[in-house]
Amino acid sequence: MASQTFLHPDEIRTLFSTAMSRMYRSEVPQYGTLMELVADVNAATLAEDGALRETLTRHDELARLSVERHGAIRLGTAKELFDIRRVFAVMGMFPVGYYDLSVAGVPVHSTAFRPIDDASLRRNPFRVFTSLLRLELIEDEALRAEAARILAGRRIFTVRALELVARSEMLGGLTPDEAQEFVAEALETFRWHAKATVSLGTYEKLHDAHRLIADVVSFKGPHINHLTPRTLDIDAVQAGMPARGITPKAVIEGPPRRNCAILLRQTSFKALEESIEFRAENGDDRDGTHTARFGEIEQRGIALTPKGRRLYDTLLSDARSDVRVGQSGANAGDYQSQLAARFRAFPDEWSELRAQGLAYFRYSATEHGLAARQRKRLPASVDELVQAGFLRFDPIVYEDFLPVSAAGIFQSNLGTDEQQNYGERSNRIEFERALGAPVQDELALYAATEKRSLDLALAQLGDPHL
């Protein structure tokens, strides 16, 4: 069978994320410094917390601790989004979730391309937060038309990369040699270009409309704008950045520090100002600078049910209306303490989170339960099985993103730490049309994982329900 000679998409993703990490570290030395800080903090945390070390070892996570968890790009056209979906599919990454950032003053909407099944997530969880510029949000009609014209003329993929994508689609995969070549070709799309495709004058006009528009339209391709490793203690990394010459954003996005980590906490260092050679045009041959690239860290917790997510959204929005963080990070300390105070209303014990239906868990039959099943009929309800120690439950990790947090990461790297609050508005249908496929519903994925684990565990315990 031909398929036996194909390299598994998870392996291709690992080749890709490794190549991206190497490229980004050489392009942005400060990112290498952040990686070192993260490694030091993780080592210190593990040395202090034996239980955590044991859990990570049990789940086979220690070896991959320092592997990047995500990166981000910003695309300019529907066609680019359509093709990037095909490129990521070769690596086992599929669009999950829809994020409308325009409501937070960022003219994009986004999805995350990520592995979906448990085994793939365990092998390599690398994902790419992918945004599509919404040109229709540029008010100046002439500028909008010019931006569209510039974008229509660029090709962000190499010819060979698209050939290999088509080959993979037709035959069902790539051989190891083809996969190597594919990764090298795909990497070209994410590379930094110190040479802009527009003059400084055009760049400035785009920049005045929105900094992000200039970032997307002025360059040959969608340079990767950050990579994000996982930390075991995000507060320690945030606090440790200045001593290593890194300027962190003002506040950590997401929930406050807790015993039972929920969803996702993130922080980043500010984007760097980099020299750009602009195109000489109509006597304009000035050079300039652009800020786009930064480094981020993340710490993930349990996935919340719709009920849990509603509570999270309410508490977050309350804290944000209590204290507004200003442009230069003023009030950051007050915000963090207000956030912690508000979140006291969010149960902070696993058993409570489960009992109140606030979070998703992975169930498994315990040794004790399997042995008991041989001797007697087990109790009928899940709660009773849990109580008796026959059924155990572990948190399902949140693998997605948070729109308010993402907006905060964007804002901080567009030069302001100001928090903007939002109302609801979305253009998902248009996004999916450009993508050429629906995005998967992340909550449905967690619910299905929980249900599968519970069905299996109950079957192993002799289906006491029946």
Footprint of ligand OOG (CB under 6 A): 72, 74, 129, 131, 225, 266, 296, 401, 405-406, 409-410, 413
Residue 302 partner contact from ligand OOG, Ni ion, none using kind-dependent CB cut-offs of 5 to 8 Å:
none
Residue 360 partner contact from Ni ion, ligand OOG, none using kind-dependent CB cut-offs of 5 to 8 Å:
none
Q: Which residue is nearest to Ni ion (CB)?
A: 296
Nearest CA to 361 out of 444, 447, 461 is that of 447
State the binding string over 45-84 for Ni ion (x if CB under 5 A, else -): ---------------------------x------------
Which residue, 17 or 453, has its beta carbon nearer to ligand OOG?
17
Cβ-Cβ contacts under 8 Å for 235 (sequence gap 6 or more): 252, 257
Which residue, 132 or 183, has its beta carbon nearer to ligand OOG?
132
Which residue, 24 or 129, has its beta carbon nearer to ligand OOG?
129
Task: Report the relative pairing of strands 361-365 and 295-300 from DSSP bridges.
Answer: unpaired
Shortest distance, CB of residue 431 to ligand OOG, whole angstroms? 15
Of 80, 233, 296, 417, the one binding Ni ion (CB under 5 A) is: 296
How far is the C-alpha of 247 from the C-alpha of 244, rounded, in Å? Answer: 9
Burial class (CB in 10 A: 0-12, 13-18, 19+), 457: buried
Shortest distance, CB of residue 441 to ligand OOG, whole angstroms? 19
Whether 95 contacts 435, CB under 8 Å = yes
Looking at the chain, how many residues does it have?
466
Shortest distance, CB of residue 257 to ligand OOG, whole angstroms? 19
Shortest distance, CB of residue 296 to Ni ion, whole angstroms? 5
Residue 417 partner contact from ligand OOG, Ni ion, none using kind-dependent CB cut-offs of 5 to 8 Å:
none
How far is the C-alpha of 217 from the C-alpha of 463, rounded, in Å? Answer: 58
Nearest CA to 434 out of 177, 95, 126 is that of 95
Give me the phi and psi of 420, to 5 degrees please.
Answer: -115, 135
What is the secondary structure of 129-150 as a DSSP string? EEEEE-GGG---HHHHHHHHHH
Q: How many chain residues are in contact with Ni ion, going by CB under 5 A?
A: 2
Shortest distance, CB of residue 107 to ligand OOG, whole angstroms? 12
Pair of tokens at residue 28: 């942005």
Cβ-Cβ contacts under 8 Å for 76 (sequence gap 6 or more): 132, 133, 135, 151, 154, 216, 217, 222
Shortest distance, CB of residue 264 to ligand OOG, whole angstroms? 8
Q: Which residue is nearest to ligand OOG (CB)?
A: 406
Write out the residues near Ni ion by the rule CB under 5 A: 72, 296
